Chains A and B, each alone.
Chain A
Amino acid sequence: MKLRGRVIRKGYAQGEALVSHQPIGFFGGVDPETGVIVESGHELEGESVSRRILVFPTGKGSTVGSYTLYRLHRKGLAPAGIINSQSEAVVAVGAIIAEIPMVDCIDISRLETGDTVSIEDNTVEVTPRGAAR
């Protein structure tokens, strides 16, 4: 399945999808030293964003969250790619400074955690979990 969106940061990325139906706030919500989601009560609490294709509707919270993504990048723990329904400034700026391929305007209801996903500029290719390769 191929989906087309809008490039926020160009580039190629591939990995296993980690899908959140809730917005993600990186500052205070994701541990910058480990990449683990630590926001209490978040549906992905305890999951690691590292090297996954992180799929969520939009960002939220403090603008310092852009720097959290940068910190993860420096430690080699950043998401491989980011897919949003509708991007906002904090995550968009974070993806650019952390050099994480990012695309938005994607119908994220068509992705599930565990799918194999690749991003190439504005194109997202999804191989559903368990599907023959």
Chain B
Amino acid sequence: MERIYLDHAATTSLDPRVLETMLPYLQGIYGNPSSIHAFGREAKKGIEAARASIAKELGAESPSEIIFTGSGSESDNLAIKGVARAYREKGNHIITSAIEHHAVYDTYAALEKEGFEITYLPVDEFGMVAMESLLNALQPSTILVSIMHANNEVGTVQPIAEFSKLLKERKILFHTDAVQSVGVLPVKVSELGVDLLSLSAHKFYGPKGVGALYVRKGVKLAQQIHGGAQERNRRAGTENVPGIVGMARALELANQERIAHQAHLTELRDYLIESLMTKIPETRLNGHPTERLPGNANLCFRYIEGEALLLNLDLKGIAGSSGSACTSGSLDPSHVLLAMGLSHEIAHGSLRLSLGKATTKAEIDYVIEVLPEIVNKLRAMSPLYEFAGEEQSLCTAKK
């Protein structure tokens, strides 16, 4: 059976051109970049070239503003804990949104235990944070605001540049988790105006196990991993040299080809969303209709549960993702969908299909053919479906 991968928001395949760039560093060039001998120097040269390239691609002022990490999650942890602990004297208040990735969201739980106070900004039914709510949340003790650029579940893209203007005037540090948007949307720290930005290589056809954090010059950061002097004392541990070199190449390629991919993805995404919403009654689009990641389609099908939907899709060779409790690893469905005002019942029936640069129209056509049959099959066995149509506002978010 042909397999169709529509889970690019989870991870992407390694671009063969990226692999080619990495191979010498997996074979001959094995020195430790911290060593002063020739073996170490050639490895060091590789990571410094990668640092310069990534700094340029992100519109940073200097390569020293890039810190290599082991993942997007680590970058988020370093940004938030690093700033919080470095600026503790100045204040203990942090502002974030209610729809952050768990790497950010769960970091606050740790900080709350240390006495930090966190304000979670609400979002509207499309997953947007309002400028006004950010303004109202600001306190004299606010040391950091962290709002994600593009949401990993529903794809909503926040007006980061507008937020940063407001925060810059007030000299409050601003971090954005751009793990979903780097390489997909134009992401320049100079344009977004952020002080810290997280990225992860495997989301843009780079290798897994490597991420980076942009930290504007002058921003203090408390070290989170202790041990060595790597990354200018900001992140101990021998660098993942092949991964770092691969990440730089992946970002160069993604940015070079971005405009074409963006157009291709947006067209297929809109075709997929419109077709499914036409063919399957009582379907809700989650996220913003236009301000969303080009490859993200997130829909709720009422009366059915997400994991059952995913298993059926998998049986047909289609790989997707869901925000149901069964797939979120807790008893509650996705905190993102709940924050957008969806009821638990509807949130359990969510499906995320995230398209990639190699996704074809034929693959999307296959999904459009197969998915309505699966939804019908599950609805036919659902005791909830008997009440279909009794309520009027079934497919709109409950406020």
**A and B: partners?**
no
Residues of B within 8 A of A (CB): none
